Amino acid sequence: MVLIAASVFTKSGKALVTRQYVADMTRARLEGLLDAFPKLVTSDKSQRQHTFVETDSVRYVYQPMDSIYMVLITTKASNILEDLETLRLFARLIPEYCRSNEESEIANKAFDLIFAFDEVVVLGYRESVNLAQVRTFTDMDSHEERVFNQMQIAQQKAALSLMKEKEKEIKRQEKLKKHLKSGISGAVASAKGISSAQARAEITSAIKDSNEGSGGGIFGSFKKPNLISGGGKALKLGAKSGANEDAFLQQLCAEGEKLSIGQSLKSQGISQVIEAVDKSSNGKVHFKCSEKLNASITRLGVLTSAEIQGSISLAISDSQFNTVVIKITNEMAKLPGYSDLVDDEGNIKGARIQVHPNLDKKEWQNNSVLRLKSEQKPYPVDVDVGILKWSVKVNDESIPLTLNCWPNVSPDSCVVSIEYTLQRTDMELRNVQITIPLPPATTPLISECDGSYEYQKSKSQLVWSLTSIDKTNKNGTLEFSTPNGHADHFFPVNIRFVSLDSFCKITVDSVEKGQESEQVEFTSEHSLITEKYEIV
């Protein structure tokens, strides 16, 4: 089909909203086509469910909706069946974005309708989208933006709390000074053997003890908030109350997000807020292994594309360890399905591993050791430095979680059965969220659920949440029904989870202190997140 324009008319023939999709048509020509439509509509045809009229050059396909018409202007060579299907989708967009079919309401929501129309038709051709997808595209909802905003609010609250605590601490110290001065002055008056220098020494010692007792410094009295345990209800975003914001932040912490106080860093005259991570449990040599998984799986369970990207960063808090030598253990060949991909040199075919340019590449290739090329360029102190990164194609056998989604459509209902299977039993997946789109204006009826669920009416989707998936519960089922719907309404299914286990089994084995071959104690942490993991 070739769609020239889409328009919303009143019964009196006034065009309320019009969107043109053909670039080579002049404004005068389009206005002529719009002016001709009211004259072509006759009274006997206006009562039909779907109607159309034709001229010598174009076809008007329209649908009466109370006091308005939804009109599509197409070429005469266009497929009338596809035109009618597109018209039905356009007609469903109006009540989705407008509370009524009144002229004033449509005028107020004109740009929302135009944006929605643009998601359905591009350059005159229909896009393969449904109503739920159009709503998702126009909402432009960003999880990362919500996380950033909530972190900013948390940092502001923490800074305000610290300011109040510091103010109380200063007042407490001043009060203690006055009390000690008055007490010592009385003692000097009664027992004249104590010199003024000794009195000042006692005051200084007492104040020092009080400082140590109160926690010492601006961060001494700050207490880390308790984290709530996962499970129960799924995460609810967008809440405006303070309690909901705190719950949201605590849930982020449970998922592996590190929230703390933002410190002010002046760089080139600009103050920036940086993430202050709680490093109390980190050693003087600390490694952080981060992996991101992207996967796309068909409804039949065929893996179309999957890739894991990872990196190891090093943070040193003591300058005496700024030239350490790091031994890496790479057990990627032991992953399911990778044993046949090992070449003669022991490398995985299709895996790309890179080391930092300041490190000795030959030492890495021969011995899997990360050593500085020159000790004159040591690692910086108190800065996370990336030292190793990799990218690996994931095969069917090593994908962590598979999903079998089976919609069973009947004339009066649609029953959907979903089963997950944990393939990597050596891993534990935490805070798993499986989001299933639903047909518009339908409420699901849950008949079976392992874990918890939440129906998000505003987004027309069902969120299935599981606190943890490991070898003890490697299978689980969700079954629900809707009054209507088609199999396409329940796809794509999006999966989100985090894990503290390494996917590629690339870990730090040992650390030595430069040329001295002295073993150095170190700490490490692993995290795996899903960037895009969907069943299409």
Task: Show me where the domains of the chain are located.
Answer: 3-139, 143-254, 283-397+503-535, 401-498
Can you give the pLDDT of all 536 residues of the chain as single tens digits? 678 888 888 887 788 888 888 877 888 888 888 888 877 876 545 455 557 888 888 888 888 888 888 888 888 888 888 888 888 888 888 888 888 878 888 888 888 888 888 888 888 777 888 888 888 787 777 778 888 888 889 889 989 989 998 998 898 888 888 877 765 555 545 444 444 445 445 444 544 444 444 343 333 333 344 433 444 444 444 444 455 555 655 665 554 444 443 333 333 333 333 333 345 568 889 999 999 999 999 988 888 999 999 999 999 998 888 889 999 998 877 777 666 666 655 566 668 889 999 999 988 888 889 999 888 889 999 889 999 999 988 888 889 999 999 999 888 889 999 999 999 999 999 999 999 999 988 889 999 999 999 999 888 999 999 999 999 999 999 999 998 888 888 999 999 999 999 888 899 999 998 777 788 899 999 999 999 999 99
Assigned CATH topology for domain 283-397+503-535:
Immunoglobulin-like (2.60.40)
Tokens of residue 74, six digits: 């197409």
Q: Which residues, listed in sequence order, are joined to residue 482 by a DSSP beta bridge?
A: 414
Dist. CA 469–CA 453, nearest whole Å: 15
Radius of gyration of the chain (CA): 33
Q: CB neighbours of 163 closer than 8 A, spacing ≥ 6?
A: none
Strand-strand pairing, 58-65 and 68-75: antiparallel
Are 524 and 314 in contact by the 8 Å Cβ rule? The answer is no
Burial class (CB in 10 A: 0-12, 13-18, 19+), 157: middle
3-state secondary structure at position 331 = coil
Q: At what angle do helices 80-97 and 110-120 cross, to 10 degrees?
A: 150
Per-residue confidence (pLDDT) for residue 280, from 0 to 100: 55
Does the reported pTM lie above 0.75? Answer: no
The CATH number of 3-139 is: 3.30.450.60
Per-residue confidence (pLDDT) for residue 237, from 0 to 100: 45
Place of tokens 């949440």: 465
Per-residue confidence (pLDDT) for residue 267, from 0 to 100: 35
Dist. CA 438–CA 254, nearest whole Å: 28
Dist. CA 254–CA 511, nearest whole Å: 30
Burial class (CB in 10 A: 0-12, 13-18, 19+), 417: middle
Dist. CA 79–CA 75, nearest whole Å: 9
Dist. CA 522–CA 283, nearest whole Å: 6
Calculate ∠ Cα 37-40-45, nearest 5°: 115
Dist. CA 443–CA 1, nearest whole Å: 34
Per-residue confidence (pLDDT) for residue 352, from 0 to 100: 85
Are 482 and 414 in contact by the 8 Å Cβ rule? The answer is yes
Closest CA to 504 of 345, 423, 389: 389
Per-residue confidence (pLDDT) for residue 48, from 0 to 100: 54
Q: Which stretches within 214-279 are classed as H helix?
A: 242-254
Strand-strand pairing, 385-393 and 3-10: unpaired
Note the pLDDT tens digit of each residue in 106-136: 888 888 888 888 888 888 777 888 888 888 7
Residue 18, Cα to own-chain centre: how many angstroms? 36
For domain 401-498, the CATH superfamily is Mu homology domain, subdomain B (2.60.40.1170)
Dist. CA 391–CA 247, nearest whole Å: 35
Dist. CA 278–CA 499, nearest whole Å: 19
Q: Give the 3-state DSSP-derived string for 99-138, with helices as H, strands as E and coil as C.
A: CCCCHHHHHHCHHHHHHHHHHHEECCEECCCCHHHHHHHH
Per-residue confidence (pLDDT) for residue 300, from 0 to 100: 87
DSSP 504: S
Tokens of residue 218, six digits: 């601006």
Peptide linkage before 378 cis (omega within 30 of 0)? no
- List Cβ<8 Å contacts ≥24 apart for 236-244: 236/454, 237/143, 237/146, 238/146
Per-residue confidence (pLDDT) for residue 241, from 0 to 100: 47
Are 256 and 496 in contact by the 8 Å Cβ rule? The answer is no
Question: Does 3-139 match 283-397+503-535 in CATH topology?
Answer: no
Q: CB neighbours of 402 closer than 8 A, spacing ≥ 6?
A: 297, 301, 420, 421, 423
Per-residue confidence (pLDDT) for residue 497, from 0 to 100: 96
Amino acid at 128: S
Per-residue confidence (pLDDT) for residue 186, from 0 to 100: 54
Place of tokens 């075919």: 349
Per-residue confidence (pLDDT) for residue 340, from 0 to 100: 61
**Secondary structure (DSSP) of 231-244:** -SSPP--S--SHHH
Place of tokens 């972190």: 151
Q: How far apart are the first and last CA of the chain?
A: 25
What is each CA distance from 527 to 162, 284, 530, in whole angstroms?
30, 20, 10
Closest CA to 60 of 38, 79, 37: 37
Tokens of residue 121, six digits: 């038709």
Q: What is the helix (H) or strand (E) element at residue 196, kind and residue range?
A: helix 196-213
Q: 535 phi and psi, to 5 degrees?
A: -105, 115
